[in-house]
Amino acid sequence: MVVYPTLGAALIAPAIYLGFTMLEGNVLTPMIVGRRLELNIVAVFLTVTVWGWLWGLVGALMAVPILVGVKVLCDNFESMNAFGQFLSGRPAAEDKEIAEERGAG
């Protein structure tokens, strides 16, 4: 406040920081984490949002490991396989091709 002549000028740097932080936290991180862990990007975003809302920062940090655990359970139980397929973020045809390659190899 001492360096800048107006309140608006003083708030430019924090506004830019807030904008980049929101972009990174709400768009980039779910997209990157979703691709790396082979999870649906929308599922990652919703999971971080819900657990962050319920438990705050701790929930937001634990959201993706919880989602990965749920996906592993879904992949290992046939009755939950459809939900695991949704969480994988891959089309069903691609999973069939992968299964055929593993069976042939």
Write out pLDDT tens, residues 28-82: 887 877 666 678 888 889 999 999 999 999 999 899 889 989 988 888 888 888 8
**Who wins on pLDDT, 3 or 63?**
63
Q: Write down the pTM of the prediction.
A: 0.55
Give yes or no for a contact between 81 and 101, defined as CB atoms under 8 angstroms apart: no
In three-state form (DSSP H/G/I as H, E/B as E, the rest C), the secondary structure along 3-23 is CCCCHHHHCHHHHHHHHHHHH
DSSP state of 105: -
Among all chains, which residue has been given the structure tokens 């949704």?
Answer: 86
Residue-range domain boundaries for the chain: 7-104
Confidence grade of residue 88 (pLDDT, cut at 50, 70, 90)? confident
